[in-house]
């Protein structure tokens, strides 16, 4: 930046910025200009050519000599606080291809510095409006680059697939648009070449380069041919609307979109295709009605507990952790069904319900209540062990209400096959799964309908195991035994 | 990708294109692990546009167009003579990834004809989504069509892999659905929507992933004699009752291999357009179905002018509105002012008294709006009182439409 006597008595500052969207250079220059109180009409802005050395002097129209904007260590110039809205506009507008972007932005910042602090928040101001349009154009160009870049495959090198694309943006947006591609394609190597700059990714870092000429691209592969076939098929000739298409996909992008070369033929043939569709009379079906198959599709529901269990076993868990489904156990037609929360560590390993510490306690209570495990149906609301790994241990996690509901359909179907006379919910999770609503177990123990079934709510044995006080534990155990005894009587078991 | 696969892709893309939904939006941002692939941006991206002006965002295909159902409006019904094809799970996965890596698409929209049974079909579709997510670390967008006739536990699984789920309501009237789609069942469709909504709400509350981009549906318009009012009432019910993100309207258009029970003529595309505008008024502008349909006649919207412009002349007592004083709700009712323009007006008027020129910078619809607005330098006294207001605002000559 330099000052020179030009146009009579008016001093003109000339600023040359690096090629492209030189945010750092612009910021430095603005800080100094504002500090030096140079009004916008006394600054001449220029963008250097790609590759032009920073020091190269260049004469501007008015004969002022430009010196490069170098050597300004941050801190040498006073900080300039610009409101956020203005900063956001500036970041975008600096990418615009118009050289007058610098002057317009400087006018904005100048006015803000002169006291119009909220200027950028007034979209009705002509300058702000103009800059907003420029920002919008840049934003759209970035969006279109994200949308319209078309990669071609270069093969595989060191186990990584490599791709290359040629794209022609309107503005200096390569740097602004690049992070999107890094996030989206982290595991492939890719390069995007444009006449306004290039960017590449090798799995480690983005590398930016100078403007490029259109490179020889690899031949279209099978996927590109498939894409063309897809594009042609996705077009509905009865709805041709080329104006709408061009609004969203302007012609300037067509050269680098492989599918665009199909457009003229698709449009040309559309009226004839539609006329043929309308003229063609409705045809009688050539194939006979597949009556058997249509009837058969209604019989998709599992027809036995074994079929249902096969389904459950084949399905991935709805809860984090669990891998093996632990299925219900016991005879179909059992008078009494007991539903627990979910399998624990032991159950998950053995693949059977109620074989861990809580299960053993339950067996003790069953024995005292005069019930025989072999004659009961035992199952869980949630079929998988939900746990969080802690070192070598797998810590039980209570399933959420949503997770319990994922499993409800199975539990319902399961009990539909077993047809017990009474369903005992051991604890709150089972009660929720059966009834669809929250039940406070300690206060609502006893008989109550659970969904479609006559039910009975009692404690879960693992609750007793967690009680620290042995007296309370003994009381709780006695209550569980009493409940089970009552349930046995209700079920007539 | 060989010739056979390409041919199958063509058939199954052709078969899927009558589904209007294409959005890849509605979700939260997400990105792949270092060895994975894909991201979602939340807003969605249209990667191309076909000459019908519709966006190509997702690879929209059917797993197969063999179908045991016989829905009259559908080209893939079992009694149609259309060419059939079927893709394997691996083929769909391969095409999706190949397209995605070349930046053709945002993800996959998978639907299917019903083969063997609804459950079998749903499982195959889910397997595609699961393979993409688990075996390939795919973080792009997946929209799965849920099959309401499938067992409810399958819907519970679909939401684990998909960003968006949808069940098509197909026709606004249950009676028409029964007549035209004998295998479908309106209460079953709504039950599935309700089930999905419940799981989505729970998952959101529990911060788990279950179809984070919500659910949408589609209605065919013009295949039966349902009025716009019925269509909009159905939509309002779906938005309110099932928390749908979008209802898509698809003007019935002639399909190859058309059924004999259907009209030969297409519904005007403009009807579809007006319904979308009305839908917008329902969702973002605080209009009720009654208010919108009062702008037209006999339960049908005015095809010549947009529904807000149709409503305004019938409520002149509300106008003119002062841009420098009116609240947001009132400004949203002004024809020509969109929600964004209104927000810009509200921002700008904190700093200045707005003139008509200012409005011209804040809205692209100032020509329509000026008849209804008071600005610092403009009062439309005469315009609002004119009896030919509607005629003056309606476009002078109707553009000819294909099949109009």
Q: Is the pLDDT of residue B396 over 60?
A: no
Contact B52 A241 (CB under 8 A): yes
Average pLDDT, stretch B289-316?
A: 91
Q: Is the pLDDT of residue A70 over 80?
A: no
pLDDT of residue A287: 67
Q: How many CB atoms lie within 10 A of CB B395?
A: 8
Please report the DSSP string for A277-330 in residue order: HHHSPPPPPSSPP-HHHHHHHT--S--SHHHHHHHHHHSPPSSSB--S----BS
| Superfamily (CATH) of domain B3-267 | Aldolase class I (3.20.20.70)
Q: How many CB atoms lie within 10 A of CB A96?
A: 24
Of B56, B117, B202, the CB nearest to A402: B202
Contact B51 A270 (CB under 8 A): yes
B2 at interface of A, judged by CB pairs closer than 8 A: yes
Residue B297: C-alpha distances to residues A129, B149, B225, B290 (Å): 40, 37, 15, 11
Least confident of A57-61, A81-85, A123-127, A180-184: A57-61
Average pLDDT, stretch A455-473?
A: 94
A274 at interface of B, judged by CB pairs closer than 8 A: yes
Token pair 């309107």: residue = A170
B369 at interface of A, judged by CB pairs closer than 8 A: no
Across the beta sheet with A160-166, what order do the strands follow?
A152-157, A160-166, A189-194, A197-201, A206-209
Of B39, B56, B118, the CB nearest to A231: B56
Task: Tell me the pLDDT tens digit for each residue of A105-132.
Answer: 999 999 999 999 999 999 999 999 999 9
Instruction: Compute the half-sphere exposure of residue A471: CA atoms within 13 Å on the CB side of its CA.
Output: 0
What confidence category does residue A78 fall into, taking pLDDT thresholds of 50, 70 and 90? low
Token pair 């553009």: residue = B399
Q: Are strands B321-322 and B373-374 parallel, antiparallel or unpaired?
A: parallel
Of B183, B254, B351, the CB nearest to A118: B351
Nearest CA in chain B to A250: B49
Contact A285 B152 (CB under 8 A): no
Percent of chain A's residues with pLDDT above 90: 81
Contact B78 A294 (CB under 8 A): yes
Q: Is the pLDDT of residue A73 over 50?
A: no
Locate A257 and state its tokens. 């979109």
A296 at interface of B, judged by CB pairs closer than 8 A: yes
Within a domain: A17 = yes
What confidence category does residue A288 fall into, taking pLDDT thresholds of 50, 70 and 90? low
Q: Is the pLDDT of residue A3 over 80?
A: no
Token pair 């690049």: residue = A178
Q: Within its chain, how far is the Cα of A268 from the centroid? A: 39
Cis peptide, bond prior to residue B113, ω within 30 of zero: no
Nearest to B9 by CA among A225, A260, A148: A225
Q: Which domain holds residue A96?
A: 2-143
* CA A438 – CA A423 distance, rounded (Å): 17
Nearest to B76 by CA among B256, B218, B265: B256
Q: Is the pLDDT of residue A56 over 60?
A: no
Nearest to B62 by CA among B110, B122, B130: B110
B206 at interface of A, judged by CB pairs closer than 8 A: yes
Q: Is the pLDDT of residue B393 over 60?
A: yes
Contact A226 B98 (CB under 8 A): yes
The CA R_g of chain A, rounded to the nearest whole Å, is: 37
Q: What is the CATH number of the domain that holds A470?
A: 3.40.470.10
A303 at interface of B, judged by CB pairs closer than 8 A: no
- Taking each helix axis from N to C end, the angle separating A126-148 and A84-93, rounded to the nearest 10 degrees, works out to 50
Cis peptide, bond prior to residue A206, ω within 30 of zero: no
Nearest to B280 by CA among B249, B303, B304: B249
Average pLDDT, chain A: 90
A227 at interface of B, judged by CB pairs closer than 8 A: yes
Of A226, A278, A283, the CB nearest to B9: A226
Q: How many CB atoms lie within 10 A of CB B156?
A: 23
Best-predicted range by mean pLDDT (A58-72, B44-58, B383-397): B44-58
pLDDT of residue B43: 87
What confidence category does residue A290 fall into, taking pLDDT thresholds of 50, 70 and 90? confident
> Is A254 found in the same domain as A310?
no
Average pLDDT, stretch B134-138?
A: 96
Locate B50 and state its tokens. 């076909």
pLDDT of residue B204: 93
Within a domain: A290 = no
Task: Tell me the pLDDT tens digit for each residue of A133-186.
Answer: 999 999 999 999 999 999 999 999 999 999 999 999 999 999 999 999 999 999
Q: Is the pLDDT of residue A2 over 60?
A: no
pLDDT of residue A76: 57
What confidence category does residue B327 fall into, taking pLDDT thresholds of 50, 70 and 90? very high
* CA B274 – CA B267 distance, rounded (Å): 12
pLDDT of residue A369: 96
B191 at interface of A, judged by CB pairs closer than 8 A: no
Nearest CA in chain A to B104: A150
Q: Is the pLDDT of residue B298 over 80?
A: yes
Least confident of A64-68, A136-140, A354-358: A64-68
* CA B22 – CA A150 distance, rounded (Å): 20
* CA A94 – CA A57 distance, rounded (Å): 23
Q: Measure in Å the smallest separation between the Cα of A155 and chain B Cα atoms.
A: 13
The continuous run of DSSP H or E covering A120 comes out as: none
Q: For chain A, how far is it from start to end, CA to CA, in angstroms?
A: 98
> Is A158 found in the same domain as A135?
no
What confidence category does residue A5 fall into, taking pLDDT thresholds of 50, 70 and 90? very low
Task: Tell me the pLDDT tens digit for each residue of A402-432.
Answer: 999 999 999 999 999 999 999 999 999 999 9
Token pair 């992933």: residue = B209
ipTM over cut 0.90: yes
Q: Is the pLDDT of residue B9 over 50?
A: yes
Token pair 């800080």: residue = A31
Average pLDDT, stretch B353-371?
A: 93
A118 at interface of B, judged by CB pairs closer than 8 A: yes
Which residues partner with A3 through β-bridges?
A13
Q: Which residue has the higher pLDDT, B91 or A298?
A: B91
Contact B256 A280 (CB under 8 A): yes
Nearest to A286 by CA among B120, B201, B78: B78
Q: How many domains does chain A have?
A: 4
Within a domain: A296 = no
What confidence category does residue B385 fall into, taking pLDDT thresholds of 50, 70 and 90? low
> Is A164 found in the same domain as A42?
no
Task: Give which of B49, B73, B252, B403 to mutate to test A binding, by max A Cβ within 10 Å.
Answer: B49
Average pLDDT, stretch B285-305?
A: 92
> Is A321 found in the same domain as A197?
no
Please report the DSSP string for B222-235 in residue order: SSS---HHHHHHHH
pLDDT of residue A294: 82
Q: For chain B, how far is it from start to end, CA to CA, in angstroms?
A: 41
Which residues partner with A53 through β-bridges?
none
Average pLDDT, stretch A277-282?
A: 74
Cβ contacts (< 8 Å) between A242 and chain B: which residues?
51, 53
Within a domain: A191 = yes
Contact map slice: B 215-244 vs A, CB within 8 A = none
Q: Is the pLDDT of residue B203 over 80?
A: yes
Average pLDDT, stretch B185-198?
A: 94
Contact B156 A180 (CB under 8 A): no
Contact A227 B104 (CB under 8 A): yes
- Contact between A96 and A41 under an 8 Å Cβ cutoff? The reply is no
pLDDT of residue A63: 41
The 10 Å CB-count burial string (b at 16+, else e) for A203-225 is eeeeeeeebeeeeeeeeeeebbb
Give domain limits for chain B.
3-267, 307-393
* 3-class secondary structure, A378: strand
Residue A88: C-alpha distances to residues A83, A116, B36 (Å): 9, 17, 32
DSSP A387: E
Contact A405 B347 (CB under 8 A): no
What confidence category does residue A476 fall into, taking pLDDT thresholds of 50, 70 and 90? very high
Contact A280 B351 (CB under 8 A): no
Q: Within its chain, how far is the Cα of A447 from the centroid? A: 46
Q: What beta strand segments (E) does A375-445 contain? A: 377-380, 387-390, 393-396, 422-426
The CA R_g of chain B, rounded to the nearest whole Å, is: 23
> Is A179 found in the same domain as A131?
no
Q: Are strands B141-145 and B107-111 parallel, antiparallel or unpaired?
A: parallel
B97 at interface of A, judged by CB pairs closer than 8 A: no
Pairs of residues, one from chain A and one from chain B, whose beta carbons lie less than 8 Å apart? 263
Q: Is the pLDDT of residue B132 over 90?
A: yes
A167 at interface of B, judged by CB pairs closer than 8 A: no
Nearest CA in chain A to B149: A298
> Is A432 found in the same domain as A334?
yes
* CA B61 – CA A373 distance, rounded (Å): 52
> Is A435 found in the same domain as A359?
yes
Contact B402 A259 (CB under 8 A): no
- Contact between A267 and A236 under an 8 Å Cβ cutoff? The reply is no
Which residues partner with A329 through β-bridges?
A378
A231 at interface of B, judged by CB pairs closer than 8 A: yes
Task: Give which of B29, B41, B103 to mutate to test A binding, by max A Cβ within 10 Å.
Answer: B103
Q: Is the pLDDT of residue A282 over 90?
A: no
Token pair 């005069």: residue = A370
pLDDT of residue B25: 86
Task: Tell me the pLDDT tens digit for each residue of B14-67.
Answer: 999 888 888 888 878 899 999 999 999 888 999 999 999 999 999 999 999 999
Q: Measure in Å the smallest separation between the Cα of B388 and chain A Cα atoms.
A: 31
* CA A378 – CA A279 distance, rounded (Å): 65
Q: Is the pLDDT of residue B394 over 80?
A: no
Contact map slice: A 241-270 vs B, CB within 8 A = 241-245, 247-249, 257, 259, 263, 266-267, 270
Least confident of A14-28, B106-120, B223-237, B384-398: B384-398
DSSP A16: E
Within a domain: A297 = no
């Amino acid at each position: 930046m330099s000052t020179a006597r030009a146009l009579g008595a008016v001093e003109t500052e000339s600023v040359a910025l690096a090629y492209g969207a030189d945010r750092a250079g612009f910021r430095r220059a603005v800080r100094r200009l504002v500090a030096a109180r140079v009004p916008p009409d006394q600054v001449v802005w220029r963008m250097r050519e790609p590759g032009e050395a920073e020091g190269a002097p260049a004469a501007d129209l008015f004969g002022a000599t430009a010196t490069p904007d170098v050597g300004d260590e941050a801190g040498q110039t006073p900080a300039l606080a610009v409101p956020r809205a203005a900063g956001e506009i500036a970041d975008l507008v600096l990418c615009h291809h118009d050289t007058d972007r610098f002057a317009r932005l400087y006018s904005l910042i100048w006015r803000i510095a002169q006291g119009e602090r909220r200027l950028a928040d007034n979209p009705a101001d002509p300058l702000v409006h103009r800059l907003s349009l420029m920002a919008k154009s840049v934003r759209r160009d970035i969006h279109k680059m994200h949308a319209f870049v078309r990669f071609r495959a270069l093969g595989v090198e060191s186990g990584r697939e490599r791709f290359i694309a040629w794209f022609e943006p309107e503005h200096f947006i390569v740097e602004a648009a690049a992070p999107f591609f890094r996030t989206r394609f982290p595991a492939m190597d890719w390069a995007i070449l444009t006449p306004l700059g290039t960017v590449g990714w090798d799995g480690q870092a983005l590398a930016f380069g100078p403007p490029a000429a259109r490179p020889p691209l690899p031949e279209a592969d099978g996927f590109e041919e498939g894409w063309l076939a897809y594009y042609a098929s996705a077009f509905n000739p009865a709805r041709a609307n080329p104006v709408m298409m061009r609004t969203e996909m302007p012609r300037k992008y067509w050269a680098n979109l492989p599918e665009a070369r199909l457009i003229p033929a698709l449009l040309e043939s559309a009226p004839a295709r539609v006329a043929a569709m309308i003229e063609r009379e409705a045809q009688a079906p050539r194939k006979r009605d597949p009556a058997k198959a249509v009837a058969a599709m209604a019989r998709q529901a599992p027809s036995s507990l074994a079929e249902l269990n096969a389904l459950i076993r084949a399905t991935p868990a709805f809860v984090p952790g669990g891998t093996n489904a632990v299925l219900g156990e016991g005879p179909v037609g059992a008078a009494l069904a007991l539903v627990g929360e979910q399998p624990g560590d032991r159950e998950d390993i053995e693949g059977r319900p109620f074989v861990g510490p809580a299960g053993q306690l339950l067996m003790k209570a069953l024995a005292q209540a005069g019930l025989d495990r072999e004659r009961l149906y035992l199952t869980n609301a949630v079929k998988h062990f939900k746990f969080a790994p802690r070192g070598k241990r797998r810590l039980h996690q209570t399933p959420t209400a949503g997770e319990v509901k994922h499993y409800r359909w199975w539990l319902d179907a399961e009990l539909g096959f077993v047809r017990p006379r009474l369903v005992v919910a051991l604890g709150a999770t089972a009660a929720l799964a059966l009834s669809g609503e929250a039940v406070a177990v300690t206060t609502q123990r006893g008989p109550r309908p659970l969904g479609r079934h006559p039910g009975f709510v009692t404690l879960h044995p693992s609750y007793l195991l967690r009680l620290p006080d042995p007296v309370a534990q003994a009381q709780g155990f006695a209550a569980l035994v009493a409940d089970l005894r009552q349930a046995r009587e209700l079920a007539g078991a | 990708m060989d010739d056979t696969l390409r041919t199958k892709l063509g058939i199954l893309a052709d078969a899927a294109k009558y589904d209007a939904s294409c959005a890849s939006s509605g979700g939260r941002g997400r990105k792949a692990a270092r060895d994975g692939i894909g991201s979602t941006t939340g807003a969605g991206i249209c990667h191309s546009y076909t000459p019908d002006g519709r966006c190509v965002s997702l690879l929209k295909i059917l797993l197969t167009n063999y179908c045991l159902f016989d829905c009259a409006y559908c080209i893939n019904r079992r009694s149609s003579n259309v060419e059939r094809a079927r893709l394997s799970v691996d083929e769909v996965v391969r095409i999706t990834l190949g397209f995605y890596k070349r930046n053709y698409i945002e993800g996959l929209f998978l639907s299917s004809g019903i083969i063997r049974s609804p459950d079998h079909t749903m499982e195959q579709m889910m397997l595609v989504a699961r393979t993409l997510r688990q075996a390939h670390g795919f973080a792009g967008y997946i929209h799965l069509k849920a099959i309401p006739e499938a067992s409810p536990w399958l819907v519970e699984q679909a939401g684990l892999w998909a960003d968006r789920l949808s069940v098509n309501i197909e026709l606004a009237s249950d009676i028409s659905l029964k007549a035209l789609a004998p295998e479908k069942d309106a209460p079953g469709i709504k039950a599935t929507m309700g089930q999905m909504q419940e799981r989505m709400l729970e998952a959101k509350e529990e911060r788990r992933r279950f179809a984070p981009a919500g659910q949408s549906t589609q209605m065919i318009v013009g295949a039966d004699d349902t009025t716009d009012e019925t269509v909009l009432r159905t939509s309002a019910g779906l938005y309110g009752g099932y928390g749908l993100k979008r209802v898509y309207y698809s003007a019935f258009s002639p399909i190859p291999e058309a059924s004999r029970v259907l009209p030969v003529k297409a519904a005007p595309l403009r009807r579809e357009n007006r319904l979308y505008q009305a839908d917008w008024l329902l969702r973002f502008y605080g209009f009720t179905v009654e208010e919108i349909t009062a702008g037209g006649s006999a339960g049908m919207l005015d095809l010549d002018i947009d529904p807000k412009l149709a409503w305004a002349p019938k409520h002149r007592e509300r106008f003119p509105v002062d841009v420098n004083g009116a609240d947001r709700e009132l400004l949203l009712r002004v024809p020509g002012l969109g929600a964004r323009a209104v927000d810009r007006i509200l921002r700008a008027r904190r700093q200045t008294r707005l003139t008509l020129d200012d409005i011209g910078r804040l809205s692209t619809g100032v020509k329509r709006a000026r008849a209804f607005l008071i600005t610092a330098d403009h009062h439309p006294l005469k315009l609002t009182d004119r009896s030919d207001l509607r005629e003056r605002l309606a476009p002078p000559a109707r553009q000819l439409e294909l099949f109009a």
